[in-house]
Amino acid sequence: MTREAVIVDVIRTPVGRGKPGGQLSGIHPVDLLAGVLNALVDRNDLDPGLVDDVIGGCVSQVGEQSYNIVRNAVLAAGFPETVPGTTIDRQCGSSQQAATFAAQAIMAGQADIVVACGVESMSRVPLGSSAAGADPYGSRVRERYPEGLVNQGVSAELIAEKWGFSREQLDEFAARSHALAAAAGESGAFATEVVPVPGVDALVDETVRPATTVDSLAGLNPAFRTDRLAERFPELDWRITPGNSSPLTDGASAALIMSAEAAERLGLAPRARFRAFSVVGSDPLYMLTGVIPATAKVLDRAGLTHDDIDAYEVNEAFASVPLAWLADTGADAAKLNPRGGAIALGHALGSSGTRLLTTLVNQLEATGGRYGLQTMCEGGGMANATVIERV
């Protein structure tokens, strides 16, 4: 008989700009994640020796984020040496996949208590540095895609062109993200999810810009156009800018996941339960469209429709992604990223999946909603989706 996997707690650090001088840039990523692990067990008065496994996401697993950063963070947090840890890479969905693996282990009866987490310090370990200047694809991928694959920004441009989104529509969505995130911050909506970072005084999300408007975004230049790419894709008029993209970000987040029986035994109240999961592959040229079939698949597995969902978290890697998702799913736009998304709150790659889960659980609790759905586009053409139910 399948056991129920429940979410007991979800937390995150404040967001830091992923550049030198950002509020978290002085913190080693191992220490950043360790602080979140400490906060998670302390908040729940949990003996860390009871944790069966710690599964975490990190994308750029090189340098300070190499050598199994999650295991290193477990040790840095002072957990007993008997507590294991492993680091996974499903690109931007790494920590969402970590939560899925954690819940599946519990549902299968192979674990009772698992921490799912993620971390990325983009100020200290820059995006793309894990390739170390080498070819990550090899000859057979190049043979399959002889014209070559492209970076995510170009994929976002291709999506904007295919779905017909204007520059103004993209900028309007970006301004919405900042306005919603700023309103949530000012209202104290993030107070229950953001935990202090040792050595950092601020508890603000550094990438949120409350004054952002469509007019202020209109002056930004396209971020991904080159002469070579313009020649290859003459249909593009290059609408993706730093303003309608997610910023480089530092951050860490974590979820305490248990069997319902373990939570009851420990006297801990579940906040939500996992209802369904999906993961899909998609066209690696367009790369970011997998959120659409992943959503359909997870709803089918959960036996739900869009009418049942009270809140969505669709990662705002670029504005064209959630806009394409809205256009194809027909979901209620008012339920989408109601506290703002990654355009404002940042996209600390390995941490984003559990960051979205953190915000989704808190949104359901604040509004009395029952079902939430999160989905994440991923490098290489993939996407994860998860449905949770508030308890």
39-64 pLDDT per residue, tens? 999 999 999 999 999 999 999 999 99
User: What is the enclosing helix (H) or strand (E) of 64?
Assistant: none
- How far is 179 from 177, CA to CA, in rounded Å? 6
How far from 34 is each of 41, 117, 313, CA to CA, in Å? 11, 10, 26
- How far is 219 from 222, CA to CA, in rounded Å? 10
Q: Assess whether pLDDT exceeds 80 at residue 301.
A: yes
Q: What percent of the chain has pLDDT over 90?
A: 98
> Would you place residue 314 in the very low, low, confident or very high pLDDT band (cuts 50, 70, 90)?
very high
- pLDDT tens digit sequence for 258-274: 999 999 999 999 999 99
Cβ 29 vs Cβ 68: under 8 Å: no
> Would you place residue 1 in the very low, low, confident or very high pLDDT band (cuts 50, 70, 90)?
low
- How far is 298 from 300, CA to CA, in rounded Å? 5
- How far is 204 from 60, CA to CA, in rounded Å? 25
CA 334 to chain centre: 20
Q: Which two tokens stand for residue 51?
A: 């944790």
- pLDDT tens digit sequence for 74-131: 999 999 999 999 999 999 999 999 999 999 999 999 999 999 999 999 999 999 999 9
The residue count of the chain comes to: 391
- How far is 96 from 22, CA to CA, in rounded Å? 25
Catalytic residue among 58, 117, 178, 377: 377
117 included as an active-site residue = no
- How far is 295 from 297, CA to CA, in rounded Å? 5
> Would you place residue 2 in the very low, low, confident or very high pLDDT band (cuts 50, 70, 90)?
confident
Catalytic residue among 58, 117, 178, 347: 347
Q: Assess whether pLDDT exceeds 90 at residue 65.
A: yes
In the block, which residue shows the tokens 């409350």?
210
Mark 36-73 as b/e (b = at least 16 C-beta within 10 Å): bbbbbbeebebebeebbbbbbbbbbbbeebeebbbbbb
377 included as an active-site residue = yes
pLDDT of residue 140: 97
- pLDDT tens digit sequence for 142-194: 999 999 999 999 999 999 999 999 999 999 999 999 999 999 999 999 999 99
Q: At what angle do helices 167-187 and 320-329 cross, to 10 degrees?
A: 100
Non-local (6+) Cβ contacts of 277 within 8 A are 100, 103, 104, 298, 301, 384, 385, 386, 387
Angle at Cα 328 formed by Cα 353 and Cα 150, nearest 5°? 60
Cβ 97 vs Cβ 353: under 8 Å: yes
Q: Which two tokens stand for residue 245?
A: 């993209």
Say what the pTM is.
0.97
Amino acid at residue number 124: R
- How far is 11 from 77, CA to CA, in rounded Å? 16
Q: Other CB atoms closer than 10 Å to residue 92's CB: what's the count?
A: 29
- How far is 336 from 338, CA to CA, in rounded Å? 6
CA 313 to chain centre: 9
Catalytic residue among 92, 117, 178, 306: 92
Per DSSP, helices labelled H in the chain are: 29-43, 69-76, 94-107, 139-144, 152-163, 167-187, 214-218, 227-232, 260-266, 291-302, 320-329, 342-345, 352-367
- How far is 341 from 359, CA to CA, in rounded Å? 10
Q: Other CB atoms closer than 10 Å to residue 187's CB: what's the count?
A: 11
pLDDT of residue 175: 98
Average pLDDT over residues 375-391: 98
CA 77 to chain centre: 23
